[in-house]
């Protein structure tokens, strides 16, 4: 199994680098922006990269299943080997030339991410992991920070695309609750995948969000876990990649505190 995971990781890394070149070349150019929703954007580059990544993976793994942000209609992950792809996580950043965008490629088996690559071609940062083999950033081993206390924690999240009044109240309510508990700082980089990878590197201590999709977080969750993080449902139950909520923390103790402070009753999810 370990050899198969290593091979899958090598393939994913090579495809992510090829896809990264497409993203990097388009980054400074004017873009045709299509609206999937009021503030949810997609570009020709997102679509082209997804096509490239899936076709390359299909050549190597013809029996596997595929989920991609721009092509999947029904977000379902079975126990079968399934590749979960976000061609550009941080599409709004990409459109606005804010340099936090990444191509994300994960292999899930039994609904668990076992291989993950998150490649930011703009800043030249490639995070990757295979289950049981550790996590790396540009070849250097990763481990999470030792933080256990909310008062010493830098917490990352993102706002997502919900612009309903109730959704905004929920999002701001959770930020307010964390700030009232004196978390040291809050960071929002505009990419769920890169936010979760920041936990893996130890740049931040926790990431949470309601509204994420499996392709936003699958690869980064594999990387964060291999770096020693706990990735779970905010209720502390097992993480379901398609449940649209996630909590990733550098320590179980911090995770328990985060879970106590956060409101779990999202108005629509």
Tell me the closest approach of the beta carbon of residue 197 to Ca ion, in angstroms.
Answer: 13
Min dist CB 209 to Ca ion, Å, is 11
Give the nearer residue to ligand IPD in terms of CB position, either 160 or 234.
160
Q: What is the DSSP letter of 223?
A: H
CB-nearer residue toward Ca ion: 196 or 232: 196
191's contact among Ca ion, ligand IPD, none, with CB below 5 to 8 A by partner kind, is ligand IPD
Residue 211 interacting partner from ligand IPD, Ca ion, none (CB closer than 5 to 8 Å by kind): ligand IPD
Residue 69 annotated as catalytic? yes
- E strand spans, the chain: 33-35, 41-43, 65-68, 82-89, 102-109, 112-120, 125-130, 135-137, 140-141, 154-156, 185-187, 206-210, 230-232, 245-249
- Give residues in contact with ligand IPD (CB under 6 A): 69, 86, 89-92, 158-160, 190-192, 209, 211-213, 216
- C-alpha span between 53 and 85 (Å, rounded): 8
Active-site residue flag, 91: yes
Q: Between residues 5 and 222, which has the closer beta carbon with respect to ligand IPD?
A: 222
* 86 assigned to active site: yes
Which token pair is 64? 């596997």
Q: What is the CA radius of gyration of the chain?
A: 17
Ramachandran region, residue 180 (left: φ > 0; alpha: ψ -120 to 50; beta: rest):
alpha
Residue 80 DSSP SS3: coil
Nearest-CB residue to ligand IPD?
158
The catalytically annotated residue of 91, 92, 112, 126 is: 91
Residues that are catalytic: 69, 86, 88-89, 91, 216
């Amino acid at each position: 199994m370990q050899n198969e995971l290593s091979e899958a990781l090598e393939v994913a890394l090579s495809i992510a680098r090829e896809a990264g070149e497409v993203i990097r070349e388009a980054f400074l150019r004017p873009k045709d922006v299509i609206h999937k929703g009021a503030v949810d954007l997609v570009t020709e580059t997102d679509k082209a990269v997804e096509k490239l990544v899936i076709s390359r993976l299909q050549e190597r793994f013809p029996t596997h299943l595929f989920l991609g942000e721009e092509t999947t209609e029904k977000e379902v992950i079975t126990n079968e080997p399934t590749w979960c792809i976000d061609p550009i996580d941080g599409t709004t950043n990409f459109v606005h030339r804010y340099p936090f965008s990444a191509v994300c490629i994960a292999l899930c088996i039994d609904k668990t991410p076992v291989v993950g690559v998150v490649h930011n071609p703009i800043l030249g940062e490639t995070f990757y992991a295979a289950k049981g083999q550790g996590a790396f950033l540009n070849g250097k081993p990763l481990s999470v920070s030792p933080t256990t206390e909310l008062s010493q924690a830098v917490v990352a999240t993102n706002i997502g695309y919900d612009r309903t009044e109730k959704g905004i109240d929920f999002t701001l309510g959770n930020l307010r609750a964390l700030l009232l508990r004196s978390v040291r700082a809050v960071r929002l980089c505009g990419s769920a995948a890169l936010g979760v990878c920041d936990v893996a590197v130890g740049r931040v201590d926790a990431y949470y969000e309601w509204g994420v999709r499996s392709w936003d977080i699958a690869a980064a969750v594999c990387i964060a876990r291999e770096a020693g993080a706990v990735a779970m449902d905010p209720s502390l139950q097992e993480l379901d990649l398609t449940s649209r909520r996630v909590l990733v923390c550098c320590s179980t103790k911090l995770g328990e505190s985060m879970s106590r402070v956060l409101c779990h009753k999202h108005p629509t999810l």
